[in-house]
Amino acid sequence: MAVSGALLSQCPLLLPQNREGTAYEGFVTAQGRDFHIRILLPLDFQLKNARIECSWHLKKILHGYRHILKQRLHRCPDLVTFMAELKTVLEIGLKNTRDPHIPRPPEYYSCLVRDIEILGWNKVTYVDTGLTTIKLKAEDSCGRQHLITLKLNAKYPTEPPVCLVDFPVHFTVSWTPQSSLLDIYNQFLAALESLKEFWDAMDEIDGKTWVLQPENPTRSATERRIAIGNNVSVNIEVDPQHPSMLPECYFLGADHVVNPLRTKLNNNMHLWDPEISLLQNLKDLLDIDFPSRAVLEKSDFAKDCGICYAYRLNGATPDQVCDEPRCGQPFHQACLYEWLQGLPSSRQSFNVIFGECPYCNKVRKVKESK
């Protein structure tokens, strides 16, 4: 099958690669841009069995139109018709795609390279090939390592980059058309120091207690679920802007264990001293010593759910404990709710269900998990 004049007219840069006319390779043009493509036809020239290979860039643009192209391969009578439709789809894809690889004006690159040189290449940990995404590293006064990711648009430096950080508070930069990467970096350093007290408090908790959740806390995480004893824990939420103040506390465990802890917290609130560490304050108010990482293992507190026999269920850990002192079996809230729903003797009021513990038959209630 010889290449037809119609195909040459449609795609002048797509050329046959063999005498049989079963392989074509070259470029398809749309919006003044050329995209590499290779088409392999079977010996019977049936388009429905054709194989199309293209550059990663073209594949990305056409990704959302795969079902359309597959349909057209089955229905187009010949390669010329299919290439015409492919170009139409490509035109649509280009209009609907914000392409980060479109070359930017020369002054964009010269300005950006100059800013990086002023800042120092030693502070750069990553730059993508298009010079549109940059990651900078910084160290706070306590030696903690931090990253800031900058996503620049074509109007830089007239418009500021989008800044992505692992912070517990919103981070915004002050920017003028005369600003540079150094200005962002200095504002980043200032923000790190403003959060120093918060991270000091969280690092002490992470280092000296057994944190049940989150398992690998990020720098933006403001909550910690701290083990107090077997099937007993306290969930605290710290205000990152006022970390020396009393955090929100929520106890998890059997009522006969956590009720005295709630009473101590309420009675001793006046003893909270913002001049000492958050962890020491919690110890003093609750009149306890949190289990030490140096003495005990996490498995001493990380007890599996009594229903699904797993510790983690979709990221959640057991947070329901039977109130019967001789039982004390932990459960995931979702597991216990589902279990009680299946019991004929259970009764439900709105989103709260009442039923018997699977282990000791003590009646307990549980809310529907969100």
**CA separation for the pair 136, 121 (Å, rounded):** 9
Tokens 């269900």 belong to which residue? Answer: 353
Q: Residue 95, Cβ neighbours under 10 Å: how many?
A: 9
3-state helix, strand, coil in the chain (%, to 5): 35, 25, 40
Q: Kindly list the distances between the CA atom of residue 176 and the CA atoms of 142, 153, 160, in Å, as whole numbers in the listed order.
A: 31, 15, 8
Q: At what angle are helices 255-267 and 278-286 packed, to 10 degrees?
A: 110
3-state secondary structure of 226: strand
Q: How many residues does the chain have?
A: 370
pLDDT at 230: 77
φ, ψ of residue 196 to 5 degrees: the values are -55, -50
Contact 317, 302 (CB under 8 A): yes
253 DSSP assignment: S
Q: Residue 6, Cβ neighbours under 10 Å: how many?
A: 14
pLDDT at 299: 65
Beta strands in the chain, from DSSP E residues, in sequence order: 14-16, 23-30, 33-40, 51-54, 124-127, 133-139, 145-151, 162-165, 211-213, 223-229, 232-237, 248-252, 320-321, 330-331, 347-349, 352-356, 363-367
Cα torsion angle, 300, 305, 309, 312, sign: negative
**CA separation for the pair 283, 264 (Å, rounded):** 11
Q: Kindly list the distances between the CA atom of residue 165 and the CA atoms of 2, 159, 195, 274, 353, in Å, as whole numbers in the listed order.
A: 58, 19, 13, 28, 42
Which residues neighbour 224 within 8 Å (Cβ) at sequence distance 6 or greater? 202, 205, 206, 211, 213, 214, 217, 235, 236, 238
pLDDT at 82: 87
Alpha carbons within 13 angstroms on the beta-carbon side of residue 200 total 17
Tokens 């090939």 belong to which residue? Answer: 129
pLDDT at 189: 97
pLDDT at 1: 41
pLDDT at 248: 93
* Tens-level pLDDT at each residue, the chain (370 residues): 444 667 777 788 888 888 888 888 888 888 878 888 988 988 888 888 888 888 888 888 888 888 888 888 888 888 888 888 888 888 888 877 654 555 788 889 999 999 999 999 999 999 988 888 999 999 999 999 999 999 998 889 998 999 999 999 999 999 998 999 999 999 999 999 999 999 999 999 999 998 988 888 999 999 999 989 877 889 999 999 999 999 999 898 777 888 899 999 999 999 999 999 999 999 999 999 998 777 666 666 677 888 887 877 877 778 888 877 778 788 888 888 888 888 888 888 877 888 888 888 777 777 766 5
Contact 140, 196 (CB under 8 A): yes
Contact 59, 38 (CB under 8 A): no
Report the candidate in 110, 180, 185 with the shortest Cα–Cα distance to residue 149.
185
Report the candidate in 146, 195, 151 with the shortest Cα–Cα distance to residue 170.
195
Give one DSSP letter per residue of 2-45, joined into a string.
PPPHHHHHH-TTEEE-STTS-EEEEEEEETTEEEEEEEE--TT-
Give one DSSP letter per residue of 125-155, joined into a string.
EEE-TTS-EEEEEEE-TT--EEEEEEE--TT
Element (H, E) at 259: helix 255-267
